[in-house]
Structure 1
């Protein structure tokens, strides 16, 4: 019986370490593997946007902005395994563009990112190159605002350690403290009983 609290403490500490450091490659979120158009590509035209991820994703959201930050109409995103396909129904005038995307990873966490590219030709006078290039824009949708600082994939703000893990860690810490206090109180009592 004297060894039981020590085993509980060891198990609690081991669980706490696992909960604190879960970021091993096996638990990594899915990532954007490739896109068409590719990041920083210069293309003649775009009929379809294709995004391919490292695993199947859900709930795709894709928007396209021109250099002035105006949203370009797109077709509804379609899932095809790890790919998200979106039609571009109208020809794109020459100039810079940014694709903003957001999906739910296969592990249940949202991921998002931006892909800047250009359509070849002389851009219209209203185009402002400084508003493109992966930086934040005034018209960046709320769903993609968390990743405006970097092009490519980036876990969303909610993709950190889930609340249930912190809750479990708190329970383990309280349990460990309870066992330590109980062990400290019962130690002298047992010695007195043995002495009698």
Structure 2
């Protein structure tokens, strides 16, 4: 019975030591560096991706980024670069529509390598509708379209009317042959007048 307190004290001491060890090592385990954010985000749907960027909780070294495209094909990616807590790489070609997977690996600030994966989807941009021949709007009629051309000149009169009308600057006077006929009549009247007077004079003498 005298050994019971001694055994109890040893058990309590061992439990206290184990609890202290857990308390001291737990923060170190919880303090491991991890991925904090990414662009593109996991399971994101985008029309294009020009740069892959990973942001960690601490400074990273020796980064590696691999990209797998639709059907498991490998997509070439430029050399991954680490700038503080950020790691980035650029795909060397434009990504076609489909599902992609990013595999990354870095060495954290405490010297432990960490790695992970994330995926995203490239969606095709909406196609621009091109109107076909049947849907094309008809061209506006010539009478509706505004025109800056001068108004058309008046139609020229027929040749017959041009010949009948007097020329510009000329007067529509009495024809010359009519003047000639009048002169002949006047001369004839004068001759008759003098002839009758001569007969009257001879009769009276």
- TM-score, normalised to structure 2's length? 0.50
SS class of match (2:21): helix
How far 1:20 moved relative to its partner? 8.9
CA displacement at 1:60 relative to structure 2: 0.6
* Structure 1 Cα separation of the partners of residues 120 and 30 of structure 2: 31
1:24 is displaced (CA, Å) by 2.4
Instruction: Determine if the alignment matches structure 1 residue 54 to structure 2 residue 57.
Output: yes
| 1:80 maps onto 2:97 in alignment | no
Larger Rg: 2
**1:89 maps onto 2:99 in alignment:** no
In structure 2, the residue matched to 1:163 is none
For residues 64 and 83 of structure 2, the distance between their equivalents in structure 1, rounded to whole angstroms, comes to: 14
Inter-CA distance 16–108: structure 2 relative to 1 (3 Å threshold): farther
1:104 aligns to 2:107 (yes or no): yes
Specify the SS of the correspondent of 1:24: helix
Residue 107 of structure 1 aligns to a residue in which SS? Answer: coil
Query: Would you say 1:115 and 2:118 are equivalent positions?
Result: yes
SS at match of 1:23: helix
Q: Which residue of 2 aligns with 1:171?
A: none
**How far does residue 71 in structure 1 lie from its aligned partner after superposition?**
1.2
Count of residue correspondences: 116
- Give the CA deviation at 1:68: 1.2
Deviation at 1:114, TM superposition (A): 0.6
Gaps of 5+ in 1: 1-5, 123-196
Following TM superposition, where does structure 1 have runs of at least 4 consecutive aligned residues deviating by more than 6 angstroms? none
**3-state DSSP of counterpart to 1:108:** coil
2:33 aligns to what? 30
Q: Secondary structure at the match of 2:17?
A: helix
Q: Relative contact order (C-alpha < 8 Å, sep 6+): which is higher?
A: 1
Report deviation, 1:109: 1.1
Alpha-carbon distance in 2 for matches of 1:60, 1:28: 20
Gaps in structure 2 of 5+ consecutive residues: 1-8, 126-205
What do residues 32-77 of structure 1 show as CA deviations (whole Å, max 9, x unaligned)?
A: 1111111000111111100000110111111000121111100000
The equivalent position to 1:14 in structure 2, one of 12, 17, 21, is: 17
